[in-house]
Amino acid sequence: MKNRLRTLRTSKDWSQSDLAEKLSVSRQTVNAIETERYDPSLPLAFRVSRVFKLPIEEIFEPDGQ
Amino acid sequence: MNNLILPEAVQPGRHYSFRADMKLNAWAFVALLVAFTARWVLQHHPDWSGLPRSAVALSPLLPSLLYVRSIKRWIGGMDELQGRIQLGACLFSTTGTVFITTALSLLESGGLLRTSRLQHGLGWEGTFAVIIALYVLANILVNRRYR
């Protein structure tokens, strides 16, 4: 799954650790999502959506779309 | 910082925490202590009947089960990626150990280990060592994938 997490995070001038703390996950998890090595669970995707105040589909996009 | 459990807290390094280590591994130390004590008791009381000998021989199982509960709680306190990594490592180490012990048993039944030190299997110490070694290996490999 593709995502805009890195772009959104840097636009707010947050480090990976800042975002990790807001999402209650480890920095490694934020990095793995940003590099698209790991797809977050639905609850985590909703937390990301809430943190950035954007709908999920504007942050995550399934492969091939 | 949030209160997530991180695997680094129980690994050697700058994030190591004795408290976290004890919270996770205390029951493992108790199980080892009970196992050595049970072995000593059984060696020094060969006259005991079957029931007390069985109770003493099986006594390390209770702290071992409590250790499994500690591991379950430890993984449950992690975030979803860390939890997945640790569960994967636990699964790899247990299935790997089952595979190795089964292979040794088959070799033994085929008469191929008669002169080897492994002719009676790994023993609980060997099994424990194999589980730990495979767990560490799995952790390194899976962590590298998500780094």
DSSP category for residue A41: P
pLDDT of residue A14: 97
pLDDT tops 80 at residue B12? no
- Dump the DSSP string for B112-124: -STTSTTTT--HH
Residue B129: both structure tokens together:
């060592």
Q: Which residue has the tokens 């591991």?
A: B71
Q: Is residue A49 part of a domain?
A: yes
**Model pLDDT, residue B8:** 72
Distances (CA, A) of B12 to B15, B18, B32, B60: 8, 10, 21, 27
Query: Is A24 within 8 Å of B79 when comparing Cβ atoms?
Result: yes
Domain that holds residue A34: 2-59
Condensed to tens digits (0 to 9), the pLDDT of residues B59-116 reads 999 999 999 999 999 888 888 998 999 899 999 999 999 999 898 888 888 877 776 6
For chain B, give the mean pLDDT: 86
CATH of the domain at A20: 1.10.260.40
Write down the pTM of the prediction.
Answer: 0.75
What is the pLDDT at residue A35? 93
Residue A39: closest C-alpha in chain B: B81
| Cα(A6)–Cα(A21) distance, integer angstroms | 15
Once rounded to an integer, what is the mean pLDDT over residues A16-42? 93
> How many Cβ contacts (< 8 angstroms) between chains A and B?
35
Give pLDDT tens digits for A11-27: 999 999 999 999 999 89
Least Cα separation, residue A14 to chain B (angstroms)? 14
Q: Do A25 and A44 form a contact (C-beta atoms < 8 A)? A: yes
Cβ separation B4–A31 shorter than 8 A: no
Q: Is residue A24 part of a domain?
A: yes
Looking at the 3D structure of chain A, how many domains does it have?
1
Closest-CA residue to B90 (of B7, B2, B3): B7
Asked, for residue A11, whether it belongs to a domain, the answer is yes
| Bridge partners for A2 per DSSP | A61
